[in-house]
Amino acid sequence: MSTTTWETADLPQPLAQYFIALAGGLSDPPKSVRSLWPMLGYMPKRGVRNQRENQKRWERILVNAPHFAEWVKSSDGLRAPRRWPTAIGDVFYDAGLTIAPVSFAAACFPGRGRLATLYTKWHGMPELCAAAHGWPLDRHELDRAVVAARSLTMHVPFVVYAHKPYLGDIPYPESGGSIMASIEARARFEADPLGCPPSVVKKAIDTTRWPTAVLRTLPVRGEWTPQLTRVPEERSLVEAGVNGWQPIEPVSSIPYAARL
């Protein structure tokens, strides 16, 4: 990736960017969808940073896009579909990758915090994230989402996450610094491939010698299950209380909730 978190830190994450554009844009937009959930009656274990201000920003979007507001408060809003739209699913299938929409939408991809904004500038990524959260795309948007899906099949961290290849027989990069630095980077990368910044990925694996086409042919780490360490944005996970999400009672007492 040519961009860095320093270049994208002030941008919204891809899913938020999509919904902001849907409402015609804002001069000071919310950075993530997470601050919508307290407006819908849920609160995470550790709260939402800058929650009140972000709620005000989302309120403006909801007012300017009533069809989006109706979808958000419905049972289908922000809920991952059981299957990808065929055009997107075929891209992952043809690449030999299996990743359900709910796994993609569980705030595990794009990566956590500021890393997520690295993907905001990718062509079609906002549309792909919207599809993963159940928003119905039109034909033009679906075409853009397909472009993003193809890009991901050539993105080493995503392939390592989705395919789970065994990396034990792959040599460490020759330019990764000390061997201990490479060992530490490899362990971190294997545990959380999508949560690692490009600097760690570079120390963990030589992506020029081990591109995605090769990684997809490696044996699978059958015992490895990705850990959901990020705050979920997908409805079923929030409702299930993953990572400490809890319903707030009564919902009517939440600021701005009545306006939804």
Summarize the confidence of residues 184-199 as an average pLDDT.
90
What is the rounded CA–CA span in Å between residue 170 and residue 91?
Answer: 27
Neighbours of 229 (CB within 10 A): 12
What's the confidence (pLDDT) of residue 151? 95
- Residue 225's contacts (CB-CB under 8 Å, 6 or more residues apart) are none
What pLDDT is stored for residue 93 in this prediction?
Answer: 95
Q: Is the pLDDT of residue 228 over 80?
A: no
Is pTM beyond 0.75? Reply is yes
Number of helical (H) and strand (E) elements in the chain, helices listed first: 13, 2
- End-to-end CA distance of the chain: give it in Å, rounded: 38
Could you report the per-residue pLDDT of 122-179, keeping only the tens digit for each?
A: 999 999 999 999 999 999 999 999 999 999 999 999 999 989 899 988 999 987 678 8
Q: What is the pLDDT of residue 115?
A: 72
Specify the amino acid at residue 135. Answer: W
Average pLDDT of the chain is 86
